């Protein structure tokens, strides 16, 4: 018995829908890893297409079919292929995809060299049609900042705090997640580690004290570094400090 395909029926209301698809799908994926070649993680996936005005609905199962075909390695150099598959399977002019996922980098403590894993929240956003495609890589990097004003006016000590640097980079060519993480960490008073022993704690405390930064300094430092990279034609930088002596956060944003 042939089953009715209700989604393919015509709609007479003459209203296209900008995005229609599946959202908040938890899915295992494999990513390129600069050090270990491959990394397995769990992503939250959003997949959409433009629905023409005369289509009643879309075929949700076809989004998952495309994801199934590509989950063995989500390579940002092949996102265009995934977008094209979505448009072809769903007979759509535009397609969109988003992957939110934790990415893990093994780091050595600065003195003891003990290795541990740091987690970074990342996101890949892409959209395209038959003529153009745009791809964005987002990273959220924990950082340490030490207040220059506090250091200048205090007889001893200075207040510091944990913060976060968020980079959203449009990619014209391939860029490693690790590269953006390194730009953010090197632009702060000190980077953050998941495991430190006492000699390491002494080192990072003194490094931050000798390298005071406002959120404005960190945002500008990151911007200067990213501006040198021809693979990144457009980017935004957001820095937020979770202040240790105020009842508010300090914030800076640059869009280039």
CA dihedral of residues 152, 157, 159, 164 (deg, nearest 10): 90
> What local confidence, expressed as pLDDT, does residue 53 receive?
67
Tokens of 75: 């390579």
18-27 mean pLDDT: 93
Reported as type and span, the H/E element at residue 226 is helix 215-227
For each of the domains in the chain, give its residue range(s) and CATH number, in order of start: 14-255 (3.10.270.10)
What is d(CA 102, CA 147) in angstroms, rounded to the nearest whole number?
Answer: 29
Under 8 Å between Cβ of 166 and 237: yes
Residue 9: pLDDT band (50, 70, 90) is: low
- Could you tell me what percent of the chain has a pLDDT over 70? 93
Q: What is the DSSP letter of 74?
A: B
CA–CA distance, 239 with 241 (Å, rounded to integer): 7
Q: What is the pTM of this model?
A: 0.90
| Torsions phi, psi for 8 (to 5 deg) | -85, 0
| pLDDT at residue 72, rounded to an integer | 80
C-alpha 191 chain-centroid distance: 18
| Rg, C-alpha atoms of the chain | 22
What pLDDT, on the 0 to 100 scale, is given for residue 6? 57
User: Which residue bears the tokens 């494999």?
Assistant: 30
Task: Let me know: does 217 contact 200? Beta carbons within 8 Å.
Answer: no
- CB burial class (10 A; 0-12, 13-18, 19+) of residue 201? middle
What are the pLDDT digits (tens) for 57-103? 677 889 999 999 887 878 888 899 999 999 999 989 999 999 999 99
In angstroms, the CA 171 to CA 121 distance is 18
User: What's the mean per-residue pLDDT of the chain?
Assistant: 92
Helix (H, G, I), strand (E, B) or coil at 131: coil
pLDDT of residue 205: 95
Distance CA 105, CA 31 (A): 12
Mean pLDDT over 22-34 rounds to: 93
Is the per-residue pLDDT at 134 higher than 80? yes
């Amino acid at each position: 018995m042939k089953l009715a395909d209700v989604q393919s029926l015509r709609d007479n209301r003459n209203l296209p829908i900008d995005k229609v698809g599946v959202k908040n799908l938890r899915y295992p994926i494999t990513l390129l890893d600069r050090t270990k070649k491959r990394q397995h993680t769990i992503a939250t996936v959003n997949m959409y297409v433009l629905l023409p005005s005369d289509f009643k609905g879309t075929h949700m199962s076809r989004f998952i079919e495309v994801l199934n075909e590509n989950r063995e390695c989500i390579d940002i150099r092949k996102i265009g292929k995934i977008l094209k598959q979505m448009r072809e399977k769903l007979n759509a002019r535009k397609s969109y995809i988003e992957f939110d996922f934790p990415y893990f980098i093994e780091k050595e403590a600065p003195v003891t060299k003990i290795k541990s894993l740091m987690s970074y929240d990342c996101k890949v956003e892409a959209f395209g049609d038959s003529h153009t495609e745009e791809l964005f890589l987002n990273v959220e990097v924990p950082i340490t900042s030490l207040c220059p004003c506090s250091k200048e006016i205090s007889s001893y000590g200075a207040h510091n705090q944990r913060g976060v640097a968020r980079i959203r980079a449009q990619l014209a060519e391939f860029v490693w997640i690790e590269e953006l993480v390194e730009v953010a960490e090197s632009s702060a008073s000190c980077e953050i580690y998941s495991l430190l022993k006492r000699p390491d704690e002494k080192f990072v405390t003194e490094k931050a004290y000798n390298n005071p930064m406002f959120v404005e300094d960190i945002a500008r430092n990151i911007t200067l570094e990213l501006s040198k990279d021809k693979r990144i034609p457009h980017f935004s930088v957001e820095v937020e400090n979770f202040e240790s002596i105020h009842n508010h956060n300090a914030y800076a944003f640059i869009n280039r």
